[in-house]
Amino acid sequence: MGDLDKKVGVVMGAGPGIGRATALALAEAGAHVVVAARNVERLELLAAELADRTGQLIIPLEADLGDLVSCKDLIAETEERFGRLDILVNVATGGGSHAPIIDADWDGWRKAFECNVIGNLELSRQAARIMMRHGGGSIIQIGTFGTHSRPVRQGSYTATKEALLSASQTLAKELGPDNIRVNVVTPGYTTGPNLDGLFAGVVQRTGESVEEVSHRLAKTAALRTHVSPEDIAAAVLFLAGPGAARITGVELPVTAGQR
């Protein structure tokens, strides 16, 4: 039995990378887990793999962060199946466009806000209503280091994540009396397909090798390394568990000391 024995968690955005690592960490700690995303076939494979590895009940549910009805249905079905909900981890995101702000497509910005802010907050408030009936719970948002570094051409993404951070810290104050904690984990450069894509873009612009780009970016962190999805999952697991029972309203950077 782990720290989360008999708890129920939802991981929204349980695709490869942080979502998968988080779902696995929760299950290994003893929780039953709902893995949610838009790709049902991939979810079913993930659920089967995690159930086999951990012996926990892992349920795949299709959900779309940009659809408020879908968000509401996801939480309602979780309660219907398990009778409770203790942990919500919001990993899913919608990045919007990658144009400079002067050339911005406002429809893309609206979509980013609908996903990254309103969608996440809809999931959070629906989950909170269930947690209130069962003595509390933990809501964990996944942020981005971009809210600190402000990279060019990512204005819609970083602005929405900044708004989610602010709203989550307000939500922590509002839900505190009900013993519901709300925190944000902010990853640094995290290994996986997204970071590989970033490297490829830099390589195309600079002519460096992938290894040179990776090494150069790693040197900008105090620990001279990138972080892994498992590093992010470990932080989520801590915030979800009893060791963080008095922690709420914080942003926890898992960045290897990136500045």
- Please provide the DSSP assignment of 191-209 as one string: TTHHHHHHHHHHHHHH---
Q: In this structure, are strands 251-254 and 8-12 parallel, antiparallel, or unpaired? A: unpaired
Distance CA 214, CA 51 (A): 34
Number of H helices, E strands in the chain: 10, 7
H-helix or E-strand spanning residue 41: helix 40-54
Distance CA 22, CA 14 (A): 8
Active site residue 157: yes
* 10 token code pair: 């939802």
Distance CA 69, CA 201 (A): 36
CA distances from 74 to 85, 155, 176 (A): 11, 29, 24
Q: What is the dihedral of CA 25, 26, 28, 34, to 10 degrees?
A: -120
Distance CA 137, CA 241 (A): 10
Three-state DSSP at 78 gives helix
Exactly one of 82, 157, 199, 238 is catalytic; which is it?
Answer: 157
What are phi and psi for residue 253, nearest 5 degrees? -75, 125
Q: Which residues are catalytic?
A: 157
